[in-house]
Each structure stands twice: as structure tokens, then as C-alpha cells.
């Protein structure tokens, strides 16, 4: 009887261990490797964006927008709405960035004005070097 | 006829055909007062069968890659002979199937048929409903249209409201930081190879339990529900009932015909009903279309999420609702099955229905 109990415990132990040892590989297998694109700079010519104008770029694989805000100069913002990930559009007349999905609105600094977005649009560092705009 | 007789005999020797027919069709009795709503479960099953078969046909031409998916689906509609028929059956079928499953659940609820000893039947059914929604969700991405792409972007962002694990779950579904070809592969795997066996297992449990326990009598009017101790099992043989064949089979056949009629009415008279404009444009990860709306069965929870300002609170509420739903038989422990004698439950039900309809209508605007 004692031998049987011992064998049972042994079987349970090794069975559990062999099953459990699959857990870590599985978690790793399903989660994708984190994105490879790291801060690749985007360079634009200054005359591409007149005052009040804008240009959509791809930064780190994600859409972003560079706006030449009248009176405030150039700014680069992520286009990905912080609510549920739709892409905001630049409304030139109202000076706003508007999300088509649930009507989230942001000002041209990326701050939330109205709607469900929980935080402001991330700013992307931007620097003007002579005739060039360097983003990233 | 002689030939038929011979085949029958041959089979009887090998699989006990006569005994199967006797025990499963003739001696299996159903209560006298069941009605066509008792055939809705069968409709759900037949609906699934149609999805499985039309889905196999679609897989003959569909290409699960972000560069080709949209084109291959267009080709199914325009080039493959009768491809449009099977795609329409699959798309319209998916919507009808969900409507049928929801109706099945509502009637089970109204008749109190989830009560002891059928708690597990309800739970397996509730899990199948969630599974059915997951089928719909994963299938939605496969044609790789603007609508698929952005609806999936929204849905897969929802878990990010959760601290700590949210990001991981979202990335798990997307296979990256945003919806991409990797997501398409994952959803395809889910839709055609992970969900179907899960469904089959749950379905087997569901049906085995129903056969073991016996169908409930309708709690309205004359009821033969017997009083017995909570711990004891006695199969409901309904000695005063009617044989399953042909009594219930007739009703099931009628409902199957109605199901097909509705399906082909849609295909014939409203073929674009389930194809809004954004389904005719290929996915463009750099442009969000003007109107992006989930399918009708997700509108109510979607609108709820929009209304609750705190994302985390909204999603937690949805999860709580799902839990209450799955474990409902353990929460409603009253013995009375007849909803006409349960004023509180009746009002809970009516307000839930009204709330759902309002949210759905609101979400659609
Ligand atoms: C998803 C696909 C589903 C299929 C294929 C299915 C299939 C069936 C079938 C064939 C029956 C027997 C006949 C009838 O009473 O309709 C049945 C009964 C039942 N179903 Fe489902 N069902 C599904 C979903 C659900 C859901 C979502 C629920 C509830 C949450 C549910 C709860 C029940 C219960 C409690 C019974 C027992 C009825 C009785 O004993 O009278 N089922 N189901
Ligand atoms: S995704 Fe932008 S407001 Fe919801």
C-alpha cells in the first residue's frame, strides 16, 4: 500500500511538472517579439509644409502627422487615437484633430478637448536643421 | 424495397440499427406541451452545419494573406462560379445563426429551463454563445476590408484598458503593436482551426446532457414537472409524452424550412444588407473610414463602452455581465419556473431587453 502511494505521488509530480513545463514556451510562443523599428528618423524638406499645412508620415511603423501650426511652428504628433486606435484627421478650418470613430477631438498640441480619449496624442521630437525637418 | 430491407439488416447486425431507432427515436419521449421554440436549439445546430459546409467551400478559394485576402474574396464573389452563393450563405448565415442562438437562449430563459438539474446545460450553452460571438469577430477580419481592419483595431484595443496584462492580451491578439498580416493569420487560425473543435466539444456536452436529463416540459399550463429531492437523479421519461419522432422532428423540420426561407429571402431581396460601404474597400492601415461600426450583435456592448467614461470600469462591467450570464442558474435559485408567477424576474427581463434595444439603436446612429 505504501509503495502504491509513493508511485502515485511520483506520477502526479512528474506528470504535473511535464505539463507545467509547457506553460512558459506557450506564453512566449503566442506573444510576438516586440517591434523592431526603433526611432528611425524621418527627414522632410521645410518647404513641404507651408504654414497651416500638414504632412502624414510613417514613424516607427505607425502613422503620424507633422503640422505647421500658424503662430506656433512645427509639431509632430502620433495619428493613433489614444481611445481605441483609429487614426485622427487634421481639420484645418477648426484647428483640431478629429477622430472619426467616436468623435474624440484634440487641439493642435495633441491635448484632448472632448470625447472619450483618455490621454493626449504622443508628441514626437522634431528639430529644424537649416532647410530640413528632422523627426525622431 | 427488398434492397432497403437487406441494407437495414446488414447494418442492424453490425451497429444495432433497429435498437438505435427504437431507443433514440420512438422510445425517446418529449413532453406533450412543447412548442416550436423547443426546435430553436436544433436550428442553432443546423445553422452551424451550414456555416461549416459553406466555410469549407470558401476555403477552396480564400487566401489568408494580407496581400491577397481582399482580392481572393472579391474573386469568390465575381469569378468563382456560384462563389457569391456560398459567401452569401456564410455571411447571412452567420447573422441568422447568432439571432437563432440568442432567441434559443431567450426562450430557455423565459421557460426557466436552466433550473436544476440543467445548470450545466445552460453553462455549456452560454459558453457556446460566447464562442459564437468569437466566430463572428474572427471571421469579420478575414475579407480584409476597411471595415474589417478598423473594427478589429477597435476591438483589439479594448483590453489595453486593463493595467499590467492589458497590453499583453492586446498584443497577443494582434501579434504586434497594431493590426497587420500577422493578426490576419491569427484570426484565420482561430476561425477555422481553434474554435470549431471547441464548439464540437461543447455541443457534445450540451446534447449529451439534454438526452440524459430529458427535455423540460413547458412551465405554462399543464406541467408534468415532478417534485423530487435535490440530490436524486431520475431521467425524465415523460411516459405520458409523445415520441420524439415524429412529434418534435416535425417542428424541427418546420423551423429548418423557415430558417432557409429567411436566408434566401435575404440573398434574393437584400443581398447587400450585410455589406455596408466600407466592406467594398480594401483595408488601408493609414486611413480610418468615416463610419466604423461593429456588427449589430456587438452594438449594445459597444455603445455601453462608449458611454462609460472610464475605459477600465466599462470593460470590467462587461466582464461582470458575462459572468452573471454564464452562472445565472446558480444565482436564480427559486423553484418557480413560470415567469408569469415571477413579477421581479419578469421586470428584470423586460428592462434588460429594453436597455439592450436602446443601446443597440443608439450605437447604430
Ligand atoms: C450555440 C449553439 C447552441 C446549440 C447548437 C444548442 C443546441 C441545443 C439543442 C439541440 C437543444 C435541445 C432542443 C431545445 O430545447 O432547443 C438545446 C437545449 C438547451 N439549450 Fe441549447 N444550444 C446552443 C446554445 C445555447 C445557449 C446560448 C444556451 C443558454 C445560455 C443554451 C441552453 C440550453 C438549455 C438549458 C437547454 C435545455 C432545454 C430543455 O431541457 O428543455 N443553449 N440546445
Ligand atoms: S478611437 Fe478615437 S475616439 Fe474612439
Q: What is the 3-state secondary structure (H, E, C) of B60-111?
A: HHCCCCCCCHHHHHHHHHHCCCCHHHHHHHHHHHHHHHHHHHHHHHHHHHHC
Q: Is residue A24's pLDDT more than 80?
A: yes
Q: What is the predicted pLDDT for the residue at B224?
A: 47
**Residue A132: strand pairing partners:** A45, A129
Q: What confidence tens digit (pLDDT) does each residue in A35-88 have?
A: 665 677 888 888 888 888 899 999 888 899 999 998 888 999 999 999 889 999
Q: Are strands A126-129 and A123-124 parallel, antiparallel or unpaired?
A: unpaired
* CA–CA distance, A88 with A80 (Å, rounded to integer): 6
Distance of CA B8 to the CA centre of its chain: 36
Q: Is residue B54's pLDDT more than 90?
A: yes
Q: Among A58, A61, A87, select the one facing B287 at the smallest CB separation.
A: A87
Structure-model confidence comparison of residues B236 and A30, the more confident one: A30
Which ligand 2 atom is nearest residue A117's CA?
3
Q: What confidence tens digit (pLDDT) does each residue in B269-317 have?
A: 999 999 988 889 999 999 999 888 888 999 998 888 878 777 788 888 8
In whole angstroms, how far apart are CA B291 and each of A26, B95, B150, B317? Answer: 38, 20, 10, 26
Cell numbers linked to B302: 459597444
* CA–CA distance, A59 with B112 (Å, rounded to integer): 57
H helical segments located in chain A:
2-20, 23-30
* CA–CA distance, A83 with A93 (Å, rounded to integer): 23
Q: Could you tell me which of B151, B146, B140 has the C-alpha nearest to residue B187?
A: B140
Kindly give the distance from the C-alpha atom of residue B357 to the centroid of ligand 2, in angstroms, as a whole number: 23
Is the CB of B178 less than 8 angstroms away from the CB of A32?
A: no
Is the CB of B172 less than 8 angstroms away from the CB of A30?
A: yes
Distance from the A127 Cα atom to the nearest Cα atom in chain B, whole angstroms: 24
Decide if B178 touches A, using CB distance below 8 A. yes
Q: What is the predicted pLDDT for the residue at B333?
A: 83
Q: Which ligand is nearest to the CA of A89?
A: 2
Kindly give the distance from the C-alpha atom of residue A104 to the centroid of ligand 2, in angstroms, as a whole number: 6
Q: Is residue B177's pLDDT more than 80?
A: yes
Structure-model confidence comparison of residues B111 and B71, the more confident one: B71
- The span from the first CA to the last CA of chain A, in angstroms, equals 71
Q: What is the predicted pLDDT for the residue at B241?
A: 81
- Pick from A78, A79, A83 the residue to mutate for probing ligand 2's pocket: most ligand atoms within 8 Å of its CB: A83
Kindly give the distance from the C-alpha atom of residue B129 to the centroid of ligand 2, in angstroms, as a whole number: 28
Structure-model confidence comparison of residues B36 and B240, the more confident one: B36
Q: Tell me chain A's radius of gyration from C-alpha atoms.
A: 26
Which chain A residues are closer than 8 Å to B177 by Cβ? 35, 61-62
Q: What is the predicted pLDDT for the residue at B324?
A: 94
Cβ burial of B72 (10 Å; 0-12, 13-18, 19+) is buried
Q: Is residue B117's pLDDT more than 90?
A: no
Cis bond leading into B241, ω under 30°? no
Residue range B7-31: mean pLDDT, rounded? 90
Residue range B208-230: mean pLDDT, rounded? 69
Q: Is residue B228's pLDDT more than 50?
A: no
In whole angstroms, how far apart are CA B192 and each of B54, B58, B65, B116, B138? Answer: 12, 11, 14, 35, 9
Cell numbers linked to B85: 452563393
Which chain B residues are closer than 8 Å to A102 by Cβ? 306
Q: Among A35, A58, A84, select the one facing B176 at the smallest CB separation.
A: A35
- Give B89's pLDDT tier (boundaries 50, 70, 90): very high
- Residue B129: CA count within 13 A, CB half-sphere: 20
Is the CB of B157 less than 8 angstroms away from the CB of A32?
A: no
Query: What's the mean per-residue pLDDT of chain B?
Result: 90
* CA–CA distance, B69 with B144 (Å, rounded to integer): 6
- Give B230's pLDDT tier (boundaries 50, 70, 90): very low
Q: Does residue A104 have its Cβ closer than 6 Å to ligand 2?
A: yes
Q: Could you tell me which of B121, B68, B330, B351 has the C-alpha nearest to residue B236?
A: B121
Cell numbers linked to A115: 470625447
Q: With pLDDT > 90 as the criterion, what percentage of chain B qualifies?
A: 64
Q: Is residue A106's pLDDT more than 80?
A: yes
* CA–CA distance, B318 with B321 (Å, rounded to integer): 5
Is the CB of A85 less than 8 angstroms away from the CB of B153?
A: yes
**Residue B163: strand pairing partners:** none
Contact B331, B323 (CB under 8 A): no
The helix/strand/coil state of B145 is: strand
Which chain A residues are closer than 8 Å to B309 by Cβ? 116
Contact A100, B289 (CB under 8 A): yes
Q: Of A44-53, B32-41, B48-57, B163-172, which one has max mean pLDDT?
A: B48-57
Distance of CA B100 to the CA centre of its chain: 7
Kindly give the distance from the C-alpha atom of residue B41 to the centroid of ligand 1, in angstroms, as a whole number: 5
Q: What is the predicted pLDDT for the residue at B277?
A: 84
- Pick from B36, B105, B108, B209 the residue to mutate for probing ligand 1's pocket: most ligand atoms within 8 Å of its CB: B108
Which ligand 2 atom is nearest residue A85's CA?
1
Q: What is the predicted pLDDT for the residue at A103?
A: 85
Q: Is residue B86's pLDDT more than 70?
A: yes
Which chain B residues are closer than 8 Å to A31 by Cβ? 168, 171-172
- What domains are defined for chain B? 29-229+236-293 (1.20.810.10)
In whole angstroms, how far apart are CA B242 and each of B37, B217, B225? Answer: 17, 12, 16
Q: Which ligand is nearest to the CA of A79?
A: 2
Quickly tell me which residue has 483595408 as its cell. Answer: B283
Q: Which ligand is nearest to the CA of B50?
A: 1
3-state secondary structure A16-28: HHHHHCCHHHHHH
Distance from the A99 Cα atom to the nearest Cα atom in chain B, whole angstroms: 9
Cell numbers linked to B166: 492589458
Q: Is residue B328's pLDDT more than 70?
A: yes
Is the CB of B172 less than 8 angstroms away from the CB of A31?
A: yes
Distance from the B177 Cα atom to the nearest Cα atom in chain A, whole angstroms: 7
Which chain B residues are closer than 8 Å to A32 by Cβ? 171, 174-176, 182
Is the CB of B177 less than 8 angstroms away from the CB of A62?
A: yes
Contact B300, B354 (CB under 8 A): no
Amino acid at each position: 500500500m505504501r509503495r502504491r502511494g509513493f508511485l502515485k505521488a511520483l506520477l502526479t509530480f512528474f506528470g504535473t511538472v511535464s505539463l507545467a513545463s509547457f506553460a512558459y514556451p506557450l506564453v512566449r510562443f503566442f506573444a510576438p517579439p516586440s517591434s523592431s523599428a526603433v526611432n528611425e528618423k524621418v527627414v522632410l524638406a521645410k518647404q513641404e509644409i507651408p504654414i497651416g499645412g500638414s504632412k502624414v508620415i510613417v514613424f516607427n511603423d505607425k502613422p503620424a502627422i507633422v503640422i505647421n501650426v500658424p503662430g506656433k511652428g512645427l509639431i509632430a504628433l502620433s495619428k493613433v487615437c489614444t481611445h481605441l486606435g483609429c487614426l485622427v484627421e487634421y481639420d484645418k478650418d477648426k484647428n483640431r484633430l478629429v477622430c472619426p470613430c467616436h468623435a474624440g477631438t484634440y487641439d493642435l498640441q495633441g491635448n484632448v478637448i472632448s470625447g472619450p480619449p483618455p490621454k493626449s496624442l504622443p508628441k514626437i521630437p522634431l528639430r529644424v536643421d537649416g532647410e530640413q525637418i528632422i523627426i525622431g | 424495397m427488398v434492397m432497403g430491407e437487406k441494407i437495414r439488416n446488414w447494418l442492424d447486425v453490425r451497429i444495432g440499427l433497429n435498437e438505435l431507432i427504437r431507443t433514440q427515436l420512438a422510445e425517446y419521449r418529449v413532453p406533450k406541451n412543447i412548442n416550436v421554440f423547443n426546435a430553436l436549439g436544433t436550428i442553432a445546430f443546423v445553422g452551424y452545419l451550414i456555416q461549416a459546409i459553406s466555410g469549407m467551400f470558401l476555403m477552396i478559394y480564400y487566401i489568408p494573406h494580407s496581400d491577397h485576402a481582399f482580392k481572393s474574396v472579391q474573386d469568390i464573389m465575381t469569378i468563382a462560379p456560384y462563389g457569391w452563393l456560398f459567401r452569401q450563405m456564410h455571411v447571412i448565415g452567420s447573422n441568422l445563426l447568432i439571432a437563432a442562438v440568442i432567441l434559443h437562449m431567450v426562450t430557455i430563459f423565459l421557460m426557466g429551463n436552466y433550473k436544476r438539474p440543467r445548470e450545466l446545460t445552460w453553462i455549456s450553452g452560454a459558453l457556446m454563445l460566447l464562442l459564437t460571438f468569437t466566430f463572428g469577430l474572427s471571421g469579420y477580419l478575414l475579407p480584409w476590408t476597411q471595415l474589417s481592419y478598423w473594427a478589429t483595431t477597435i476591438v483589439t484595443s479594448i483590453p489595453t484598458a486593463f493595467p499590467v496584462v492589458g497590453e499583453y492580451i492586446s498584443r497577443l491578439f494582434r501579434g504586434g503593436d497594431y493590426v497587420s498580416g500577422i493578426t490576419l493569420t491569427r484570426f484565420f487560425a482561430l476561425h477555422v482551426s481553434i474554435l470549431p473543435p471547441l464548439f464540437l466539444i461543447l455541443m457534445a456536452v450540451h446534447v449529451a446532457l439534454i438526452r440524459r436529463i430529458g427535455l423540460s416540459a413547458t412551465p405554462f399550463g399543464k406541467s408534468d414537472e415532478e417534485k423530487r429531492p435535490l440530490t436524486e437523479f431520475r431521467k425524465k421519461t415523460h411516459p405520458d409524452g409523445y415520441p420524439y419522432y415524429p412529434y418534435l422532428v416535425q417542428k424541427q423540420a418546420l423551423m429548418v424550412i423557415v430558417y432557409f426561407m429567411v436566408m434566401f429571402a435575404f440573398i434574393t431581396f437584400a443581398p447587400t444588407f450585410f455589406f455596408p460601404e466600407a466592406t467594398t474597400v480594401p483595408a488601408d492601415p493609414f486611413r480610418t473610414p468615416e463610419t466604423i461600426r461593429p456588427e449589430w450583435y456587438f452594438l449594445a456592448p459597444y455603445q455601453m463602452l462608449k458611454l462609460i467614461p472610464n475605459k477600465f470600469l466599462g470593460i470590467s462591467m462587461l466582464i461582470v455581465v458575462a459572468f452573471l450570464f454564464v452562472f445565472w442558474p446558480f444565482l436564480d435559485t427559486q423553484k418557480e419556473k413560470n415567469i408569469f408567477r415571477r413579477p421581479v424576474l419578469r421586470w428584470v427581463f423586460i428592462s434588460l431587453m429594453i436597455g439592450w434595444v436602446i443601446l443597440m439603436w443608439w450605437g447604430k446612429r
